[in-house]
Amino acid sequence: MSAPQQQGAAPQQPHHHPAPQTTVPLQGAAIEAESEENSEVDSTLGESDASSFTTSLASSVVDYPYENGRRYHKFREGEYLYPNDEPEQDRLDMLHHIYRLMLGGSLHKAALPPSPQRVIDLGTGTGIWALDFADEYPSATVEGVDLSPIQPRWIPPNCKFIVDDIEAEWPYPTEQAFDYIHQRNMVGSVGDWDRLYEQAYKHTKPGGYIELQEFRVDFLSQQGPLPENSEINKWQKQINAGTASFGKPLNVIEDLANKLKAAGFVDVHEDILKIPIGAWPKDKNLKLIGQFMQLHAIESVEPLTLALFTRVLGWTELECQVLIGKVQEEFKTSRKQLFVYTHFITGRKADRAHSED
């Protein structure tokens, strides 16, 4: 395994992301829709709703390849299908805000102690979760790991970022085991979940926690099954086939709780939340989540499509752009009362367990 590449640290003023409290419904519950006369569900979303910001690291890992107008990672090139450019970073930061709304402002569901010591964020992306956790838990040393060095240079002294592959051998000695391992938005990015969780278990302290926060990438309608001619329906079938062919299937979240148990974690608990897409819910907090989710869904179509469809499925860029446009248009209407399920899975290493050497 190559030596990890690490960014420097400098003090940063704490920042906080307050979120309105809301009760997000569990799987199977109905969400009351706004009545049509009071509804703004078909208002058109703007085409340009994001601002760009990024940083770089002066090394070969930022000699980024470009493809179909998007930028991709250099380290372990080709292992990750999704871009790392500024529009993608903005999308990931918006997703962080959405997760905090789902959790009523919290960063986690795991029953962590008041002062966790060592924390790792797998596939940290822009590093925004790790930075927020470091601010809220000054006792913790938080390490974010990602293939791309797209995190800020100026970071709190208790946070650091490592350029590495979480599927490679973890380099930590036994005495550096973690109190908390956090994984979010990693489906479609891992080839061997069993090995990943075996390593996670090995490097968790007795009594420590692991938490997964993942979407089930299956867009549904509260009004019934999407028709066969739905562009969203056709698109997600291609995505499922393509990611499975690539060896990193996207829709695996329903298997991951059992994989945590198989790795040795105990007290594995799973909450499945029903998350609206669009402004159709009557509840004002669910409506806010739905508005963010609608924008996120629209902005997700291109990054989820381009590399997968051109590299794996053999489509041309033009064919991709035609499909992307159609899918985005379908996401822009809220009349179908679209929603998606989000899974929050926590597990614990038994107190009497011993870390392996």
With vertex at residue 84, the alpha carbon angle to CA 61 and CA 244, rounded to the nearest 5 degrees, is 105
For 77-87, the pLDDT digits (tens) are 667 677 778 88
Find, among 216, 254, 221, 233, the residue nearest to 31 by Cα: 221
| Cβ-contact 51, 118 below 8 angstroms | no
Alpha helices in the chain (DSSP H): 86-102, 128-136, 193-202, 231-246, 253-263, 284-307, 317-331
With a cut of 80, say whether residue 5 has pLDDT above it: no
E strand or H helix that includes residue 208: strand 204-221
The one-letter amino acid code at 266 reads V
> Is pTM beyond 0.75 here?
yes
More confident call, 74 vs 253: 253
- Mean pLDDT across the chain: 85
Largest CA distance in the chain: 64
Ordered domains of the chain (ranges, CATH):
71-348 (3.40.50.150)
Residue 113 pLDDT class (50, 70, 90 cuts):
very high
More confident call, 352 vs 155: 155
CA 310 to chain centre: 23
All residues at 6 or more sequence positions from 197 whose CB lies less than 8 Å from its CB, including other chains: 210, 259, 260, 262, 263, 265
- Token pair listed for 293: 């989710």
Q: What is the mean pLDDT of residues 116-134?
A: 96
With a cut of 80, say whether residue 20 has pLDDT above it: no
